[in-house]
Amino acid sequence: MDPHAKANPGKLTYASSGPGTPSQLEMEYLKAQLGVDIREIPYKSNAQALTDTIGGTVDMYYTVQSTTLANIQGGKLKALAVGAARRTQALPDTPTVAESSNLSTYEAQVWYGFVVAAGTPPDLVARLNEAVVRAAQRPEVVEEVKKLGFESSPSTPAEFLRTMTLEADKANAMLKAAKK
C-alpha cells in the first residue's frame, strides 16, 4: 500500500465509519506515520462502509477483524495487514502493519474489559478479576472468541489499567494527527 499510495497522492480512498471512530482515527494516524495522502470517505455505519468496500466504491477500510473475517474467508475482501503486534490466529498468512511497513512498533488492538465503580474494595476487585479470568480460559469461551476473530488475553487489574492508559495516550496522538 505505501509505495502505491505515495505514487498516487489523493487518488486512493478509505472508508471510515464516521468521524472520531477507531476506523477513522487509526487510518489518519497510519497515514501520518507513513506520509501518504489517502482520502477519507466517511460513512454513518460500519455496514455501509463494509458494503462499499466490498463493492469497490472505496479502495480500503481499516476495521476490526471480526467485522470482515467472514468476507475475507469468503473471498469478497483481501486482508492487506493486521494492526496487531503479531499475526493473528484467524489470519496467520496476513502480515502485520509493522511487518509490511517501516513502522516497526505499530500496533492497534481492539480490547474489551470489565470495570467497577471507583472505591470498590480491593479484595472484591481481586475476586471479580479471578472469576473473569477463569471464565475467559474455559475452552468453550476460547473457541467462541476465536470464531469471532478475537484472541483472549486476560490480565490483572493493574495490567488492564496500563493498557487503558497507553491506549488513551495513543488516542490523543491520533486525534492530533487527524486534526492536521
CA distance 180 to 178: 6
Sequence-separated (6 or more) residues with CB below 8 Å from residue 64: 22, 110, 149
Cell of 125: 476487585
Q: How far apart are CA 86 and CA 97, in angstroms?
A: 9
Helix (H) or strand (E) holding 49: helix 46-54
Rounded to two decimals, what is the model's pTM? 0.74
Question: Which has the closest alpha carbon to 23: 52, 9, 144?
Answer: 52
Rounded-to-integer distance, Cα 156 and Cα 164, Å: 12
Task: Quote the strand ranges of 17-118, DSSP E.
Answer: 39-42, 60-61
Residue type present at position 121: P
Domain at 2-107: CATH code:
3.40.190.10
User: Each residue of 89-129: pLDDT tens digit?
Assistant: 889 999 999 998 888 888 887 778 899 999 999 999 999 99
Q: Is the pLDDT of residue 176 over 80?
A: no
pLDDT at 79 (0 to 100)? 93
pLDDT category of residue 179 using cuts at 50, 70 and 90: low
Q: What is the pLDDT of residue 64?
A: 83
For residue range 140-162, list pLDDT tens digits in order.
998 888 877 788 889 999 999 99
- pLDDT higher for 75 or 174? 75
Per residue in 11-42, pLDDT (tens digit) is: 999 999 888 888 888 898 888 888 899 999 99
**How many CA atoms does the CB half-sphere of 76 hold within 13 Å?**
12
**Within its chain, how far is the Cα of 170 from the centroid?**
13
Using DSSP's 3-state secondary structure scheme, residue 13 falls into strand
Cα-based distances in Å from 28 to 86, 89, 140 = 21, 26, 37
Q: Do 123 and 116 contact (CB within 8 A), yes or no? A: no
What's residue 2's pLDDT? 62
C-alpha cell recorded at residue 134:
477463569
pLDDT of residue 180: 61
